[in-house]
Structure 1
Amino acid sequence: MPDALNLFDEMLTACHYSPDESFLGFLIESCVANGLLDSALDLLSRAPHFGFQLGPSRYNNIMTGLVNSSRVKDAIIFFKDHLVLGQFTPDIWSFNIVLKAMCTLGDMNSALELLDEMRKLGYSPDIVTYNTLVNGLCKANQVNKAYSFLKRLRLKGLVVPNVITFTSVISSYCKLGKMNDARKVFDEMLHSGIKPNRVTYNVLIDGYGKNGDIHSACMMYDRMMHGGCPADIITITSLINGYCMNNQLDEAMRLWNEMGLKGLRPNVYTYSVMIHYLCKLNRLEEAIRFLDELTMREDIVPKAFVYNPVLDGLCRIGNVDKANRILTEMEKRKGYPDNYTYTILIIGYCMKGRMEDAITLFHRMFDTGCKPDNVATRSLVSCLLKAGLPNQASTIMSRLSFDNFSVKDDHLVLRRKSPEVSVAV
């Protein structure tokens, strides 16, 4: 792209070349595709000098690129500036892109104002417009407003809501634990003649399970099967999690064993659910067997949240060496420990009185860019002081520039905002 742009500039200066709309648009889209958004903006600004106005698709392409590059505010400013200047005539998709950008920022007031402006300019919002707004309201924790918006669409006949519109509202009610409201919207969707899709069923099954109503989760699962909507691994994982949360691990195991018959393979989250609850019930050996099975899977990248319950369980029973071997195996498979992983092992070493190992792991944690938090630091420093190692404690704190701690008379002092008040640990 840099060579192409240089050659384009040479054509303009040396050959006095004047591009047409098609060629300039092609260059702009090529810049966007290669992530050169500022170059695309520069090319766009030249269009008036060449005596033509680019169509809305070119502007939409740039705005989409800005949004996808996390330059959401730039996309909104770009749209407003060019609209005010009259440099382009937007289409419905132009508005939809900007509405999505505003919803991404949680600025629902501006999004609804833009909807009004859109209507005043003579544009008719489509289903994408309304779905964007409903989803934005849900993500902004305004689910009741989203539901009212949905009902208004139906009553006024502005547009026919589809499964995406309803599922956004259902999902939000499920996340809030308002299962009666979620079921109400689900029933309204059925009465409207709209068929639920897999996502609709999955959010309801997950919601019922997490809110302690495993019976309703299973009923929804049966309805899903009879409705000709085959389950996927997300469905089964949600059901397994629901059974586990309701202390029905045997049923969860049954589902696990039936997955193969359905042509499904557990993903990292399915393993995580089983491992977490087995560890919670102190069935550590079974959890390790699941972890070993996961380790054999070449298609799954290890995640810290899967390993942490096992590491914690091993450290609690004093088997910190096995925990460290599992950590090493995870790192070999390009799994990255998180703060909690290191904290578990540091505390595990401290509990065994192996302070040198704890210090080594603490520095290793720091060197990997995983900055220790208050829990890890306080635990290690407190244990070092109890072991009569105040100098090592001071070294740990100085490396962190830990302003909240100081060592005084072989005690760890936690300084509060008021300088005259301190608490000795």
Structure 2
Amino acid sequence: MPFWNSNHSRRYFSRFSDSIICTLRRESKIDAGIACFHNHTGTRSSLPPPPPHRLDQSEVWFVKVVCTVCFRFSPSLDIFHSNYFSKNLTPTIAFNVIRCIGTFINNPHLAFNFFQFTKNNLKLFHCFATYDFLLRSLCQMGIHDLAKLVYEYMRVDGYSPDSSCLGFLVSSFAHIGEFDVAKEFLVQALSSENVEVSPQVYNNLLSLLVKGNRVAEAVCFFRVHILSSKNCNVDTFTFNIVIRALCGAREVDKAFEFFNGMGRFNCLPNLMTYNILINGLCRVGEVDRGRELLREIQSGNGFHPDVVTYTSMISGYSKLGNMEAALNIFDEMINCGTKPNLFTFNVLINGFVKKGDMASALNMHEKMRFLGCIPDVVTFTSLLDGYCRSGQVDQGLKLWDEMNVKNLYPNVYTFAILINALCKENRINEARDLLRQLKSRGDIVPRPFIYNPVIDGFCKAGNIDEANVIVAEMAEKRCNPDKLTYTILIIGHCVKGRMLEAISIFNKMLAVGCAPDAITVNSLINCLLKAGMPNEAFKIMQTASEDLKLDMPSLRRTIPFKTNMDITVAV
């Protein structure tokens, strides 16, 4: 059984170590005190210490004694100033002590303190394994400031991290947002002839920079440090990361600059490269350029378009409303033997719905089922949207019921589409029932655009109290009202003559940092004037002009101000 996992061993060694510690306190008897069970002798060398070797029995006991002394006397480690420790503590012993403290005692701070003490006070030259272990354990525990200090000690001792250690450091610091430190590690490695930098290291850093919305920074680092380094063997995967980032940022022309320059670094684009560029072109509406790339793939590059290639093209044409071209690509896809997937059909169905061609959308839905592709919540949401757009709300409700039968749970957009359609047909109570269903859905984070049509419907119907209940439900779901919600409530309360409540809602709107626009302010001021409340109207206008910086010249002419604003002014 391992030493530290045995209760009997702990009790025995605790009693045994107490006698050792007493001996250590008598400096003159240190050698005799520890030598009773430890015959190890150490030597110093100016050469880097060798990798840790397998410990013999006396070294194992010495490691246990040192760990116990560290634990008992922490945070002070002055006891290790003794000549015995200075002579007999070797890099291998130190490594095992640090590993034991960090792993079994689970105290990385103490492990670091022991490392720092032995390095600075005992002038111990630690082995690479010690640095590697400390760097990893400190980062894993989230103690990155000490890890950076260990890295600096390592550099002073003439060590450079190997590819594995470097990759861990770069990834660890990048994950906590310390991108500058991560880049510094990598730049130092790239400038050293002794460090072999694996492509995974800089590929991971580039990916994390892009994920952190630092696309320009990623592109600059790639261009300045990676492409210009002799230590980097960039590959197609590296180029794809940068090209994808630029396409995602809608900078497709810059992406093509790297695409055209791949040959200079002995890299050839693969199908993923073309798919990224085609998708990027389609996103910015340059679908015809995307089609040229599709033809380039088909002309013979050792690979063929796949479902991603074709679906990107279909999506591009669908967004432009060119469903004829989208269908042509779809037919070409089928004829080439590429099977469309769920996303392909959803793109086409949604495109037809947006075009107002419900018949073609339903036809594509049937073809989808015929080819064995099972519709999902996105499919049903698009079809439901199509029915609601064409005024067939009852058909939409049937789809809603079918979804529930198939255990396809409506998402936030399914709720929003159907609720909005019901409100447009003045079926407010049915829309209200859907909101009650939404209240029980803990997996959906609702948005104000779901509630606003129902709140507006009840306000127009004069049922302000129910509108306020819905606003309270929004708060329960942690959905904050937006500008439109507040405007609807303000006007609704004004129409019912509840002017003070309308002013209170306006003030709350300002308090939560939701800045009203000119429509909201104009509506409230006009209602206050009609209600014979020019003083309050003036205060609102003053707030809008001075605090919100809204230009209200027409209202200044409308309000008949007098010197004493406490006197009610007739309108």
* TM beyond 0.5: yes
Paired residue for 1:35, among 171, 177, 180?
A: 177
Preserved CA contact (<8 Å) 1:35 1:65: no
Per the TM alignment, residue 393 of structure 1 is displaced from its structure 2 partner at its CA by: 2.8
Counterpart of 1:211 in structure 2 is 355
Separation (CA, whole Å) in 2 of partners of 1:365 and 1:246: 36
Counterpart of 2:440 in structure 1 is 296
* 1:265-280 equivalence runs, <5 A: 265-280=409-424
Paired residue for 2:551, among 404, 410, 414?
A: 404
- Choose 190-199 or 365-374, whichever is displaced more: 365-374
Paired residue for 1:395, among 521, 535, 539?
A: 539
Residue aligned with 2:434, SS: helix
Separation (CA, whole Å) in 1 of partners of 2:297 and 2:192: 44
Separation (CA, whole Å) in 2 of partners of 1:121 and 1:44: 20
Counterpart of 1:69 in structure 2 is 212
* 1:202-351 equivalence runs, <5 A: 202-351=346-495
- Judged with a 3 Å threshold, the aligned counterparts in structure 2 of structure 1 residues 95 and 20 are, in CA distance, closer, same or farther, namely same
Per the TM alignment, residue 376 of structure 1 is displaced from its structure 2 partner at its CA by: 1.1
- Judged with a 3 Å threshold, the aligned counterparts in structure 2 of structure 1 residues 398 and 71 are, in CA distance, closer, same or farther, namely farther
Per the TM alignment, residue 53 of structure 1 is displaced from its structure 2 partner at its CA by: 4.2
- Post-superposition Cα deviations, 1:213-266, rounded to whole Å, max 9, x if no partner, equal 111111111111121111111111111111111122222122111113322111
Q: How many residues align?
A: 411
Does 1:79 pair with 2:227?
no
Does 1:163 pair with 2:307?
yes
Using CA pairs under 8 Å that are at least 6 residues apart, name the structure with larger relative contact order, 1 or 2: 1
Does 1:59 pair with 2:202?
yes
Counterpart of 1:5 in structure 2 is 148
Q: Which runs of 5+ in 2 are unaligned?
A: 1-143, 561-571
- Choose 325-334 or 18-27, whichever is displaced more: 18-27
Separation (CA, whole Å) in 2 of partners of 1:363 and 1:206: 42
- Post-superposition Cα deviations, 1:364-409, rounded to whole Å, max 9, x if no partner, equal 1122222112221221122223333333233324433334114535
Q: Report % sequence identity.
A: 42
Per the TM alignment, residue 208 of structure 1 is displaced from its structure 2 partner at its CA by: 1.2
Counterpart of 1:21 in structure 2 is 163
Preserved CA contact (<8 Å) 2:162 2:196: no
Return the letter of the residue paired with 1:59.
Y
- Post-superposition Cα deviations, 1:115-143, rounded to whole Å, max 9, x if no partner, equal 11113433111111111101110111111
Preserved CA contact (<8 Å) 2:166 2:201: no
- Choose 124-133 or 17-26, whichever is displaced more: 17-26
Separation (CA, whole Å) in 2 of partners of 1:50 and 1:3: 27
- Judged with a 3 Å threshold, the aligned counterparts in structure 2 of structure 1 residues 34 and 216 are, in CA distance, closer, same or farther, namely same
Counterpart of 1:113 in structure 2 is 257
- Judged with a 3 Å threshold, the aligned counterparts in structure 2 of structure 1 residues 158 and 393 are, in CA distance, closer, same or farther, namely farther
- Post-superposition Cα deviations, 1:1-35, rounded to whole Å, max 9, x if no partner, equal 2232223223444x554433322222112222333
Per the TM alignment, residue 79 of structure 1 is displaced from its structure 2 partner at its CA by: 0.8
Separation (CA, whole Å) in 1 of partners of 2:440 and 2:227: 59
Separation (CA, whole Å) in 1 of partners of 2:489 and 2:233: 60
Separation (CA, whole Å) in 1 of partners of 2:333 and 2:443: 38
Q: Which runs of 5+ in 1 are unaligned?
A: 413-425
Separation (CA, whole Å) in 1 of partners of 2:383 and 2:319: 16
Separation (CA, whole Å) in 1 of partners of 2:293 and 2:155: 52
Return the letter of the residue paired with 1:326.
I
Separation (CA, whole Å) in 2 of partners of 1:117 and 1:290: 55
Separation (CA, whole Å) in 1 of partners of 2:226 and 2:176: 26
Q: Normalising by the residue count of structure 1, what TM-score does the alignment of the two structures yield?
A: 0.91
Counterpart of 1:376 in structure 2 is 520
Return the letter of the residue paired with 1:27.
L
Separation (CA, whole Å) in 1 of partners of 2:193 and 2:535: 72
Preserved CA contact (<8 Å) 1:19 1:50: no
Q: Normalising by the residue count of structure 2, what TM-score does the alignment of the two structures yield?
A: 0.69
- Judged with a 3 Å threshold, the aligned counterparts in structure 2 of structure 1 residues 60 and 18 are, in CA distance, closer, same or farther, namely closer
Return the letter of the residue paired with 2:344.
T
Preserved CA contact (<8 Å) 1:18 1:50: no
Preserved CA contact (<8 Å) 1:271 1:306: yes
- Judged with a 3 Å threshold, the aligned counterparts in structure 2 of structure 1 residues 95 and 300 are, in CA distance, closer, same or farther, namely same
